[in-house]
Amino acid sequence: MKKTFITLAGLLFTLATIALAGMFYVHQHVQSFSSSPLSLTEAQTLELTRGTSFNQFLNELQQRQLIDETWPAKVLIKLQPQLADIRSGYYDILPGDSFVDLVKRLNQGKEKVFSVTLIEGQNINEWRQVLAQTDYTSNEVEDVFNAVLVKHGDESGLPEGKFYPDTYHYHAGASVQSIVEQSYLKMQQQLEQIWQNRDTSIPLKSPYELLIMASIIEKETGKASERPWISAVFTNRLRKGMRLQTDPTVIYGMGERYQGNITRKDLREHTPFNTYRINGLTPTPIAAPSGASLEAAAHPADVDYFYFVSRNDGSHVFSRTLAEHNRAVNKYQRNR
């Protein structure tokens, strides 16, 4: 009897030892699985559609060879069931992410952030092309600018220049209109603030005229530091009743006919935007001005220049008189 008891005790001890060893192995393996980096060397995007189960998520990771096996994750979820609460959306999987890093991102709904950059100096048609190529957005692009104007009570149908150039961030499924609306609201805020703080001696009657002036400055500026001087030239011309005579307005008026060159015939053509033929400002902005161009329009430099000509390196020669200007044109444009 005593021998049987000793044998049974030995068996139970052996089984207990095996069980403890197994539990230790499982614990260690789950810990390692949880904290070790996933098997990837460059970022990937993971889409979790609505209703995706935790097991389906694990199978997706295994199919991508980001994990070798799924059972450690299932054990982990038994121990920490809150980790199974994953949210739908698009997510980044980043090099160095552990399984727990990724799962917590899914728990918190920290979706992948996309971005689109609307560049200063471009026009609405160019921006439409950019927006049409954005990833993971909804809504049509064609009428989106006018739709935003109407929503905010502007039914003019004149969207040019009324949207702020910047980089805008969004999550998958965002509408193009929501992105454009951010741009519109930012421009209204910037324009109002800069208008309120303007040099009140400038010959501009409204924030919209400031916007027009800023758009022309934007298109003429190759060197950022020259913006206030270019602004001064146009401001001085307006004060004297001189025409602005700036090529970007001619190009804008030509529309799709512009193929890279302006002829004398183009300069003589009477379009609403040809400042060689019209007095004052153009009827609308000709591009999206940056904040720096808005500031330059509101605060032109205190200089008495009336002319400028390109040095062909992005900078300009500024002149007070027509004679000085003609000499600069001969030197830099006519190579005389």
Q: Crossing angle, helix 2-35 and helix 71-79, to 10 degrees?
A: 100
Question: How does DSSP assign 267-307, residue by residue?
Answer: HHS--TT-TTTSSSS-SS-SS---HHHHHHHHS--S----E
Which one-letter amino acid corresponds to residue 207?
Answer: P
CATH code of the region 27-108? 3.30.1490.480
Q: 81-90, long-range: CB within 8 Å, 24+ apart, which pairs? A: 82/107, 83/107, 84/54, 86/48, 86/52, 86/54, 86/57, 87/48, 88/48, 88/49, 88/50, 88/51, 88/52, 89/47, 89/48, 89/171, 89/172, 90/45, 90/46, 90/47, 90/48, 90/136, 90/171, 90/172
Q: Give, for all 336 residues of the chain, the pLDDT tens digit.
A: 555 555 554 454 444 444 444 454 455 655 667 778 888 889 999 999 999 999 999 999 999 999 888 888 888 888 888 989 999 999 999 999 999 999 999 999 999 999 999 999 999 999 999 999 998 898 788 899 999 999 999 989 899 999 999 999 999 989 999 999 999 999 999 999 999 999 999 999 999 999 999 999 999 998 999 999 999 999 999 999 999 999 999 999 998 888 888 888 989 999 999 999 999 999 999 999 999 999 999 999 999 999 999 888 889 999 999 999 989 888 887 665
CA atoms of 159 and 240, how far apart (whole Å): 30
| Domain residue limits, the chain | 27-108, 114-191, 201-332
Report the DSSP pairing between strands 137-138 and 174-175: parallel
Q: Kindly provide the b/e burial profile for residues 283-298, where b requires at least 16 CB atoms within 10 angstroms of the residue's own CB.
A: ebbbbbbbbbbbbbbb
pLDDT at 35: 77
